[in-house]
């Protein structure tokens, strides 16, 4: 039985670009891209990601922004403990925080923007590969038409 795309890939309902091909190349690319970061940045990122709670916080913020209090509640942790984790994520550029009144709101950080640029470039390369193949098919088709004198049909 065929399964709908998002159920298999775990991707959200809206698939990136036409006919969703992009979602399959993104994981390996994201990781490769991260490896190219300067070592100090890399250490900070990996240090931040080496903790299960902090990874959970990133997943949580991927769904929506949240206050430190929300996060502390979600992860059954003291405010001080959660502040520390958020601090580490903030240092690595994975999370940004903003204080309005007495509430500090956390969201995914600027690293996300760099990754978006990488995603766009990855998409572009995919389309280039696709268009190269299209060009070959078109050239072949033209040769067939010229030698047959009329288009070959099924």
Partner 1 sequence: MDIRSAAETTATQDRATIERTSERELVVTRTIDGPRDVVFQAWTDAELFEQWWVPKSLGMKLLSCEIDARVGGGYRLTFDTGAAEPMAFYGRYLEVRPPSRLVWTNEEGDGDTVVTTVTFADEDGRTRLVVNDRYPTKEALDEAIASGATSWNDETFDQLDEILRRLATSGH
Binding residues for partner 1 (CB under 8 A):
1-6, 8-28, 30-31, 34-35, 39, 46, 49-50, 55, 58-59, 62, 108, 111-112, 115-116, 118-120, 122-124, 126-139, 141-142, 145, 154
99/142 with CB nearer partner 1: 142
- Measured from the CB of residue 114, what is the shortest distance to partner 1 in angstroms? 8
Length of the chain: 154
Q: How far apart are alpha carbons 149 and 46 in whole angstroms? A: 62
- For residue 32, give the nearest of 128, 125, 129 by alpha carbon: 125
24/99 with CB nearer partner 1: 24
- Measured from the CB of residue 52, what is the shortest distance to partner 1 in angstroms? 9
User: Which residues, other chains included, contact 85 with Cβ-Cβ below 8 Å and sequence gap of 6+?
Assistant: 51, 53, 54, 57, 77
User: Which residues, other chains included, contact 72 with Cβ-Cβ below 8 Å and sequence gap of 6+?
Assistant: 78, 79, 81, 82
69/131 with CB nearer partner 1: 131
74/145 with CB nearer partner 1: 145
32/79 with CB nearer partner 1: 32
- Measured from the CB of residue 36, what is the shortest distance to partner 1 in angstroms? 12
Write down the residue that tokens 């389309």 correspond to: 127
Q: How many CB atoms lie within 10 A of CB 75?
A: 16
Write down the residue that tokens 């990136």 correspond to: 16
């Amino acid at each position: 039985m065929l399964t709908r795309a998002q159920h298999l890939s775990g991707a959200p309902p809206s698939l990136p670009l036409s006919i969703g091909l992009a979602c399959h190349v993104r994981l390996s690319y994201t990781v490769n891209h991260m490896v190219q970061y300067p070592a100090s940045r890399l250490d900070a990122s990996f240090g931040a990601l080496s903790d299960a709670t902090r990874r959970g916080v990133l997943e949580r913020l991927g769904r929506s922004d949240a206050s430190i209090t929300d996060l502390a509640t979600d992860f059954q942790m003291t405010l001080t403990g959660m502040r520390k984790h958020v601090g580490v994520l903030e240092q690595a550029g994975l999370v940004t925080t903003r204080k309005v009144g007495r509430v500090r709101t956390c969201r995914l950080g600027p690293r996300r923007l760099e990754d978006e640029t990488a995603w766009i470039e990855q998409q572009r390369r995919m389309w280039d590969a696709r268009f190269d193949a299209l060009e070959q098919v078109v050239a072949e088709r033209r040769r067939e038409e010229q030698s047959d004198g009329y288009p070959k049909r099924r």
